[in-house]
């Protein structure tokens, strides 16, 4: 008898931020709360396959030596296993991140905002004047030009500010009480591109030293070696700014040299998931003065390497999984991972044993490959419906396009298979984790090779699984770039019985002036300017809205009302165009109080209602 597993958003508890201290294993355990309609993370200890909640509603945790620190609201505490925890920092304003040092000093960043909440209702609102090219950001709102970041130091004796700025300061590491690593924005909000640089603040001399050079566009992570002689950092250079792989760099203080350590795989590339509530905090870690561990994204999964200062790099783990975090020492080596059938597991790399997995096993995705028309090998995954009978198939298209599906848990796919649908998901040309050339292949070629890859991959799944796939009932769903591809596809084929486009791009010209990234994204990705006639012609013909008269596929549009990446007007315009020129069935559903990432981190009740609406739409078009 086939048993159907019905995944529930409120029963998924992903782990992150792994730390092993003095024989104890700690992590953050995150989950959605149904009554409160929010997400929280708890500090837990993992032991003997079980867990104990130590502190509830923790913002972040950090470790230094054998001491664990955690943040609750705007207070930072030192955790004591056998005594009351000690409050070491208390702030009235928001703490964005912090780093403890080996002397007990805490370095941290605060953010003071005049307008801390989007759509804040005031009794007497004032005017908002916009004078810069970049003035809004998805998942945040309109940029507060009066905000201030403060980089602070808290010792046992005093608290003082060492750096302040009106643009973001991101604290990355600290060495003893003498040196601090952080990034600062080097461009104004009126610049076409936003760059940052890696800076060391030297406490005794009260001066800063720039580590990254002009060829570096953005540093995302950095860490001192155990002796402070070197810094490893993850960064993108200024080539292909919107679609550049991240590389690993080393800076040596004694020689004042900066060199690339590893550039053949993307060090910061993750795998798209809708269950990782706390994102990965690190992709590298020093083991001692000379050796380090780092992680990459490779062909839809994670890889783990060990490197040393001689330049030697050795692959030590290459499994079908997404590594969420890792912990290494002389006595242990562990990874937190997610797979297509397990939301979260703790694995001992020495014994290969599963140390912790509180979840039941869900159906696993079957990976397959096929040849693109240019003979490139394309990765794809097939998740069969849980009833094990012949059923409809959904082609699900990822966003980006510079993103990747892969070997990680995806709640929505599990929900769709429980509802009786087969799911196919593919990494077409343009996806990450396959190298720079593969990512670049979609540039100036949206709706071409990428579109054909998706249809070829779907055909391959249908051929391989005729006993499970009813080829007369094919559907297409996607979000963001996937929404673009969904609306593009139904303008160019009639093979799908119905479609669901979420937060799509349907009109490139409109996006140029309304998206928080439109001013640079379109120029970088499409290779033309919307402000000259030839560019406008290209953008029109690459826009799904240009093909609404040929659409014969019923389509459901889902869009967050707060979305600033692909604003609601993209779906509204497409909806109106279909209504004005076509009699095909179309419905637009607006999700209130929702940003671009509503399907991954939106209000939990809306995520539930969204799935129910999608199910109703699909059932209506059998």
CA–CA dist 220, 176 (Å, integer): 22
- Residue 323 inside a domain? The answer is no
Which residues contact residue 365 at a Cβ distance below 8 angstroms, ignoring those fewer than 6 apart?
A: 340, 341, 381, 382, 383, 407, 413, 425
Range of the domain at 170: 91-123+134-210
The tokens for 113 are 């905002």
Output the pLDDT for position 178: 87
DSSP string spanning 247-292?
EEEEEETTTTEEEEEE-SSBTT-----SS--S----SEEE-SSSEE
* pLDDT value at residue 5: 54
Q: Which residue, chain included where needed, has tokens 């209504």? A: 579
* Whether the predicted pLDDT of 153 surpasses 60: yes
535 located within any domain: no
- Distance, CA of 335 to CA of 322 (rounded, Å): 10
Overall domain count for the chain = 2
d(CA 219, CA 178): 22
Assigned domain for 242 exists: no
Q: What is the structure's pLDDT at 586?
A: 98
| Stretch 525-540: mean pLDDT | 94
The pLDDT mean for the chain works out to 92
| Cα(376)–Cα(449) distance, integer angstroms | 11
The yes-or-no verdict on residue 564 having pLDDT over 80 is yes
For the residues 106-118, what does the mean pLDDT come to? 86
How does pLDDT run across 339-351, given as a tens digit for each residue? 999 999 999 998 9
- Which three-class secondary structure string do you get for 83-138? CCCEEEEECCCEEEEEEECCCCCEEEEEEECCCCCCCCCCCCCCCCCCCCCCCEEC
> What's the CATH code of the domain at 389?
3.40.50.1820
237: nearest Cα among 259, 221, 214: 214
617 in a structural domain: yes
Question: Considering the chain, what percentage of its residues have pLDDT values greater than 90?
Answer: 79
Task: Label residue 56 exposed, middle or buried (CB < 10 Å: 0-12, 13-18, 19+).
Answer: exposed
> Per-residue pLDDT averaged across 289-309, rounded?
95
Condensed to tens digits (0 to 9), the pLDDT of residues 224-252 reads: 999 999 999 999 888 877 778 899 999 99
* Gap between the Cα atoms of 89 and 423, Å rounded: 48
Residue 3 has a pLDDT of 45
Task: Please say which residue of 190, 210, 230 terminates a domain.
Answer: 210
> Which of 172, 194, 210 is the endpoint of a domain?
210
250 inside domain: no
Contacts of 568 (CB under 8 A, 6+ apart): 559, 560, 561, 590
Residue scoring higher pLDDT (4 or 152): 152
Q: What are phi and psi of 610, to 5 degrees?
A: -60, -45
Q: Which residues of 167-189 are buried (b: 16+ CB within 10 A; e: fewer)?
A: bbbbbbbbbebebbbbbbbbeeb
Predicted confidence (pLDDT) per residue in 55-75, tens digit: 999 999 999 888 999 999 999
The answer to whether position 41 is within a domain reads: no
The token duo for 182 is 């952080």
pLDDT tens per residue, range 409-447: 999 999 999 999 999 999 999 999 999 999 999 999 999
Range from 83-87, 214-218, 379-383 carrying the lowest mean pLDDT: 214-218
pLDDT band at 116 (very low <50, low <70, confident <90, very high): low
Q: Going by DSSP bridges, is the β-strand pair 159-165/148-154 parallel, antiparallel, or unpaired?
A: antiparallel
Closest Cα partner for 297 from 270, 325, 316? 270
Confidence of residue 2 (pLDDT cuts 50, 70, 90): very low
- Burial tier of 497 (Cβ tally within 10 Å: 0-12, 13-18, 19+): middle
pLDDT more than 70, % of the chain = 98
**pLDDT computed for residue 558 by the predictor:** 98
Tokens 């032991």, located at residue: 47
Domain closes at, from 195, 210, 225: 210
Kindly report the backbone phi and psi dihedral angles of residue 277, in degrees, each rounded to the nearest multiple of 5, phi listed first.
-75, -45
3-state SS string over 551-601? CCCCEEEEEECCCCCCCCHHHHHHHHHHHHHCCCCEEEEEECCCCCCHHHH
Residue 218 maps to a domain: no
Question: Is residue 49 left, alpha or beta, with left meaning phi > 0 and alpha meaning psi from -120 to 50?
Answer: left
E strands present in 349-460: 354-356, 366-371, 377-383, 391-397, 422-426
Model confidence over 242-284: pLDDT tens digits? 778 899 999 999 999 999 999 999 998 889 999 877 766 778 9
Would you say residue 604 lies in a domain? yes
pLDDT in the model for residue 6: 66
Q: Give the number of other Cβ atoms within 10 Å of residue 552's Cβ.
A: 12
Look at residues 366, 394, 401, 399 and name the one whose alpha carbon lies nearest to residue 380.
366
């Amino acid at each position: 008898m086939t048993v159907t597993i019905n995944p529930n958003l409120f029963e998924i508890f992903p782990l992150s931020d792994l730390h092993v201290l003095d024989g104890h294993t700690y992590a953050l355990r995150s989950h959605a709360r149904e009554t409160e309609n929010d997400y929280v993370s708890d500090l837990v200890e993992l032991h003997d396959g079980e867990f104990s909640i130590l502190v509830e509603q923790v913002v972040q945790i950090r470790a230094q030596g054998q001491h664990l620190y955690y943040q609750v609201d705007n207070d930072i505490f030192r955790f004591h296993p056998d005594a009351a925890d000690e409050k070491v920092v208390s702030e009235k304003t928001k703490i964005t991140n912090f780093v403890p040092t080996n002397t007990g000093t805490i370095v941290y960043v605060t953010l003071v905002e005049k307008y801390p909440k989007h759509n804040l209702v005031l009794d007497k609102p004032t005017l908002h004047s916009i004078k810069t090219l970049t003035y809004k950001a998805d998942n945040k709102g309109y940029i507060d030009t009066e905000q201030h970041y403060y980089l602070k130091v808290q010792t046992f004796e005093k608290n003082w500010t060492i750096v302040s700025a009106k643009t973001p300061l991101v604290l990355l590491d600290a060495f003893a009480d003498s040196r601090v690593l952080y990034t600062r924005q080097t461009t104004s909000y009126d610049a076409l591109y936003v760059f940052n640089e890696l800076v060391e603040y030297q406490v005794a001399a009260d001066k800063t030293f720039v580590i990254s050079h002009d060829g570096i566009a953005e540093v995302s992570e950095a860490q001192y070696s155990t002796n402070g002689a070197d810094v490893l950092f993850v960064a993108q250079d200024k080539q292909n700014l919107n679609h550049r792989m991240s590389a690993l760099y080393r800076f040596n203080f004694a020689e004042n040299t900066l060199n690339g350590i590893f550039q053949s795989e993307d060090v910061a590339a993750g795998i798209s998931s809708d269950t990782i509530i706390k994102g990965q905090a690190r992709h590298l870690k020093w083991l001692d003065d000379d050796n380090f561990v780092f992680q990459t994204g490779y062909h839809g999964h994670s890889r783990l390497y060990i490197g040393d200062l001689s330049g030697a790099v050795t692959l030590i783990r290459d499994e079908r999984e997404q590594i969420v975090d890792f912990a290494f020492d002389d006595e242990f080596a562990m990874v937190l991972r997610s797979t297509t059938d397990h939301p979260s597991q703790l694995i001992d790399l020495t014994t290969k044993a599963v140390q912790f997995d509180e979840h039941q096993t869900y159906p696993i995705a079957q990976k397959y490959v096929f040849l693109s028309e240019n003979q490139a090998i394309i990765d794809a995954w097939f998740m069969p419906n849980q009833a094990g009978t012949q059923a409809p198939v959904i082609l699900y298209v990822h966003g980006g396009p510079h993103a990747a599906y892969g070997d990680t848990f995806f709640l929505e796919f599990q929900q769709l298979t429980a509802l009786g649908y087969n799911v196919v998901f593919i990494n077409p040309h343009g996806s990450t984790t396959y190298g720079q050339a593969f990512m670049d292949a979609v540039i100036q070629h949206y709706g071409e090779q990428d579109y054909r890859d998706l249809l070829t991959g779907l055909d391959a799944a249908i051929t391989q699984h005729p006993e499970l796939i009813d080829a007369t009932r094919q559907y297409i769903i996607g979000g963001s770039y996937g929404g673009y591809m969904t609306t593009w596809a139904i303008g160019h084929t009639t093979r799908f019985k119905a479609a669901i486009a979420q937060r799509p791009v349907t009109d490139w010209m409109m996006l140029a002036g309304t998206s928080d990234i439109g001013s640079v994204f379109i120029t970088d990705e499409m290779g033309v300017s919307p402000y000259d006639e030839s560019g406008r012609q290209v953008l029109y013909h690459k826009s799904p809205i240009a093909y609404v008269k040929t659409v014969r596929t019923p389509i459901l549009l889902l869009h967050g009302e707060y979305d600033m990446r692909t604003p609601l007007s993209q779906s509204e315009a497409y909806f109106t165009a279909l209504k004005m020129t076509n009699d095909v069935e179309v419905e637009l559903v607006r999700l209130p109080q929702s940003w671009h990432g509503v399907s991954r981190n939106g209000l939990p009740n809306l995520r539930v209602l969204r799935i129910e609406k999608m199910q109703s739409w699909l059932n209506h078009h059998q």
